[in-house]
Structure 1
């Protein structure tokens, strides 16, 4: 990018692959990127949210494709990337959003639950990043955006594989950023703070933890999904061409305390 102007944030002509992009925060990433001109390809385990996501993306004047696929299935990453290429012809942005969390007491934690979380949150992210990087390196540009967590920094008692996976995502983001910089591929992350969603409603309403979390946030309240849309557009755009290896907390200052 030789100069900064309004087009620096434009994603016109770009194609974004988003895992888990048809529901929750992933849908917001899909809508945000399409608002700035990107076509979107969503891969998700079920078809939940497809109709609504299609409507919102197409309202922004962009195209969308879908693939129903468990991204933890063996050897599926290459096929997923090929689906994107077959559908849109190229791949410019990968948002590794899909993830899960399973909670249990330390001495009762099950090995099977450890494997489920690590397979989705870390292994699938690694394999998809690897396949996407090969396409992006060949074309001489690309953006990989990994979704971290407050647990990329903190202990996360009783969510052991989630914490381990999100620490690893932060480490992998840095390693990939360093390795892929010569190929003009920027690799960054977003670490959402405590965001008000259907999935977090029970935690917000918890009579103990709810007030504790809110009191810990310097801005004074939980975030909303729309507050993550600007950061994902920035990291996907030319405006972030000199930003790589960063995990950006979007947390209202939670990590300051």
Structure 2
């Protein structure tokens, strides 16, 4: 029998950075990485939310810290990675999660709406990914995991800027994978459908909209935030050493329907 190398999801000794890590999907993935043994730094713009999130994870015994940063500002991102260099000396895993949405019809979208969404979701991912890649190239190893959306693949009303940004994230993922593979770095994306988080809880109050979501989803429900942990651990760990440039739809079967 061949001597197989059996994969593990253990992240002991790994250093991970999660942007937009104080709530929702970012917070949940950060906790999942920490539970698997990684030392995690969460970032975001809201200092009080970062402190609250860090304290909550520390109560579970996790090694978590925080640093306020605006991913849309190059100077802030450079200072964030200077801090990472000083405090962690390496970055093994990047969860490029910071994002926002403004739901408006095409004719209602203002220029400032477009700029806010695209700057956060796309420019922010680029600035952070660029700095992480520089460190990972030096290390000759690393995992970049971009958080996309099913809206990078499908079209939904009222999503002009958000869907455009997520479609671009899918393409960034493929281009970065092609560039960075020779340096031992994998780049993949998670594309969730409707996950219950503080950003989407209002869907539960809108019975008509919730019914449409459930009817469109093969599993007939919205996703739970902790259902993002397993896919994230797969991409972050040695279980996915031969996987790069992929978009994994965590969508209850939405895109298969």
- Report if aligned partners of 1:34, 1:60 keep a CA contact under 8 Å in 2: no
Q: Look up the match of 1:237.
A: 237
Larger deviation, residues 61-70 vs 112-121: 61-70
Distance 2:51 2:44 in 1: 13
Q: Look up the match of 1:5.
A: 6
Scaled by the length of structure 2, the TM-score of the pair is 0.94
Scaled by the length of structure 1, the TM-score of the pair is 0.94
Note the residue ranges of structure 2 that are not aligned, 5 or more in a row: none
* 1:103-135 Cα shifts (integer Å, max 9, x gaps): 112212100110111110001101111111010
For the aligned residue pairs, the C-alpha RMSD in angstroms reads 1.6
1:46-195 matches, within 5 Å, as 46-195=46-195
Distance 1:127 1:151 in 2: 22
- Report if aligned partners of 2:74, 2:127 keep a CA contact under 8 Å in 1: no
How far did residue 60 of structure 1 move? 5.0
How far did residue 71 of structure 1 move? 1.4
* 1:44-102 Cα shifts (integer Å, max 9, x gaps): 10124334432443345442221112111233322212211211221111101010001
Distance 2:194 2:244 in 1: 24
Q: Look up the match of 1:16.
A: 16
Distance 1:139 1:3, change over 3 A: farther
Distance 1:50 1:116 in 2: 21
Distance 1:139 1:94, change over 3 A: same
SS of equivalent to 2:74: coil
SS of equivalent to 2:176: helix
Note the residue ranges of structure 1 that are not aligned, 5 or more in a row: none
